[in-house]
Amino acid sequence: MSATAEAMAPRAAAFSPIGDAVIDCQLQKVFYGDFLAVRNSHVPIEKGKITGFIGPSGCGKSTVLRSLNRMNDLIPSFRFEGHVKYHGQDVYGKTVDPVVVRRYIGMVFQQPNPFSMSIYDNVAFGLRLNRYKGDVEERVQKALERAALWKEVKDKLNKSGLSLSGGQQQRLCIARAIATEPDVLLMDEPCSALDPIATRQVEQLMLELKERYTVALVTHNMQQATRVADTTAFFGVDISGGGRTGYLVEMGETRQIFQDPQEELTKQYVSGEFS
């Protein structure tokens, strides 16, 4: 365990990385109330890689991503059958504190969502929440450097995070997510609100981040998946029987998914026959 992780003692039952596998996600059925949103999706997340989730709207990409660090806990109607294991440990174990889960498995959202507080406080937020006992200033600087934002903000750390441009705000959110040194970073369409230049900066950042973190990325942009993802999971929507249930169609190396898909549906999707 890193010095940072040690400095932030878990508040509930022990939940710490062991072993080599990062996340084993087996979702047999995912419901919102009575609605079956996702079925039969086994989505392993491999260490040190970027795993891209692609597929048509409503196929469950975000649902699966958010189940990995218990973000769906915030939705009362959410329930699932299956398991999500992080280094072999049950993420949904009765004694596991979701705040601790999210320290190891951080998240960046579609819309840059800095808190209404200073740039510094945004990045320090998770450290304080987790009662980090080390040097907060040093950790904030390191996170901003890793998020390729330090040079642009080092002279205005007390300015509001909301005063930054959209691309800078998204890099600030990435800095906030990595300040606690997570093991895994979940990114839910992190570039969809950004212009092409900011998008390229964030994509470049993802490639740098994977040296240190494991990344799972939801994207609508298939070119983005080919540019940054090592592994790609393609989800489809089953409308037979009048429902709309997402499921994993195929998962493999990104090159294979785009150039040599094994499933007809994947072939049609990546060739743009439907979206």
Ligand X SMILES: Nc1ncnc2c1ncn2[C@@H]1O[C@H](COP(=O)(O)OP(=O)(O)OP(=O)(O)O)[C@@H](O)[C@H]1O
Minimal distance in Å, beta carbon 244 to ligand X? 5
Q: Is 146 in the site for ligand X (CB under 6 A)?
A: no
First to last CA, the chain: 43
Strands 50-54 and 105-108 come out as unpaired
Residue closer to ligand X by CB (options 1, 75) is 75
Residue closer to ligand X by CB (options 200, 244) is 244
Q: Is 252 in the site for ligand X (CB under 6 A)?
A: no
Separation of alpha carbons 74 and 264, rounded Å: 36
Minimal distance in Å, beta carbon 106 to ligand X? 19
Strands of 111-239, DSSP E = 184-188, 214-218, 231-238
Site track for ligand X across 42-71, x = CB under 6 A: -------------x-xxxxxxx--------
Q: Is 98 in the site for ligand X (CB under 6 A)?
A: no
* Residue 231: Cβ within 10 Å count: 21
Residue closer to ligand X by CB (options 6, 263) is 263
Minimal distance in Å, beta carbon 116 to ligand X? 25
Burial code of 8-47, b = ≥16 C-beta within 10 A, e = fewer? bebeeeebebeeeebbbbebeebeeeeebbbbebebebee
**Binding residue for ligand X, selected from 8, 22, 37, 228, defined by CB under 6 A:** 37
Reference 102, options 7, 197, 179; nearest CA is 179
| Binding positions for ligand X, rule: CB under 6 A | 32, 35, 37, 55, 57-63, 75, 77, 244, 246
